[in-house]
């Protein structure tokens, strides 16, 4: 008796199992990229005030900032590639570069595309710094203050591991580091333009409050997967139902 051909259920199970390594690689590289981007942001804030100590020269901070930024870009590229190559959720390459054109979690994936594009611009202008005016280079690098929070929103909004305690703790730690250093930078230069510094400090605190409220009502609440925009690109399980991919 000849062996029966594998049915649809077997095929679906095989496809889902075979893509699991890429799916986990996507999540892992995304988290590592967030940590590295946070380190790049932190060292950038330190270098902006020319921070140095006898046992920590300024060139060490500048070198760390440059190298960590390149490493963050490398892991972000790996994150994008594994996302595009994995068939667990269909995300074309253009969705990873052009914001808000995809059908899967359009807003939150779009934030990731914006962060990726800003990273490319920041790294590209850094490599071409000697051929650019200081004012032009500084203008582009001001976008770093938008790149990091947009990347955090992308991770929280589209990440399937957001409710996981250690992932949430890791993200909260990254936010605490950048928020703390930003407030420290504002206080350090308080005598110069005190009104603008006070407005900046208030904006940081309000962003933390608003972000906490949104996180509680959004990614940490039941039904977030549906409200986030999990569309028809989500995979189908053996039973024919689409997995919720988290909450």
Distances (CA, A) of 225 to 34, 108, 170, 230, 241: 21, 11, 21, 6, 14
Residue whose token pair is 């203050």: 145
Helix then strand then coil, % of the chain, to nearest 5: 70, 0, 30
| Residue 41 structure tokens | 């942001």
Structurally, how many domains does the chain consist of? 1
The pLDDT value recorded for residue 5 is: 46
The pLDDT value recorded for residue 18 is: 39
Does a structural domain hold residue 239? Answer: no
Which of 40, 32, 30 lies closest to 178, judged by CA?
A: 40
Low-confidence ranges of the chain (pLDDT < 50): 1-19, 233, 236-247
Q: Residue 56 pairs with which residues in a beta bridge?
A: 53
The pLDDT value recorded for residue 234 is: 52
Does a structural domain hold residue 109? Answer: yes
Does a structural domain hold residue 106? Answer: yes
Does a structural domain hold residue 247? Answer: no
The pLDDT value recorded for residue 72 is: 94
The pLDDT value recorded for residue 231 is: 56
CA distance 124 to 204: 28
The pLDDT value recorded for residue 182 is: 92
Contact 197, 190 (CB under 8 A): yes
Q: Tell me the average pLDDT of the chain.
A: 82
Does a structural domain hold residue 4? Answer: no
95: containing domain:
15-160+167-227
Does a structural domain hold residue 130? Answer: yes
Distances (CA, A) of 107 to 20, 22, 102, 243: 25, 23, 9, 20
Does a structural domain hold residue 52? Answer: yes
Does a structural domain hold residue 236? Answer: no
The pLDDT value recorded for residue 142 is: 80
> How far does the chain reach from its first CA to its final CA, in angstroms?
46
CA distance 42 to 160: 26
Global pTM reads: 0.81
CA distance 89 to 158: 12
Q: Residue 66 pairs with which residues in a beta bridge?
A: none
């Amino acid at each position: 008796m000849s062996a029966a051909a594998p049915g649809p259920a077997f095929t679906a199970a095989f496809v889902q199992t075979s893509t699991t390594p890429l799916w986990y690689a996507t999540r892992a590289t995304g988290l590592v990229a967030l940590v590295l981007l946070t380190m790049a942001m932190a060292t950038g804030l330190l270098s902006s005030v020319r921070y140095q100590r006898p046992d920590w020269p300024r060139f060490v901070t500048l070198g760390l900032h440059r190298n960590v930024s390149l490493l963050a870009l490398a892991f972000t590229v790996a994150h994008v590639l594994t996302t595009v190559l994995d068939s667990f959720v269909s995300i074309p390459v253009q969705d990873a570069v052009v914001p808000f054109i995809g059908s899967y979690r359009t807003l939150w994936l779009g934030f990731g595309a914006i962060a990726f594009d800003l990273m490319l611009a920041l790294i590209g202008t850094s490599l071409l710094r000697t051929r650019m005016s200081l004012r032009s280079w500084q203008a582009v690098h001001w976008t770093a203050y938008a790149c990091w929070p947009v990347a955090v929103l992308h991770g929280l909004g589209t990440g399937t591991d957001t409710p996981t305690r250690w992932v949430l703790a890791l993200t909260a730690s990254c936010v605490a580091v950048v928020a703390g250093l930003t407030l420290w930078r504002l206080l350090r230069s308080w005598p110069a333009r005190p009104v603008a510094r006070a407005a900046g400090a208030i904006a940081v605190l309000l962003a933390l409050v608003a972000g906490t409220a949104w996180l509680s009502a959004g990614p940490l609440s039941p039904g977030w997967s549906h409200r986030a925009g999990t569309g028809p690109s989500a995979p189908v399980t053996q039973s024919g139902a689409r997995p919720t991919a988290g909450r």
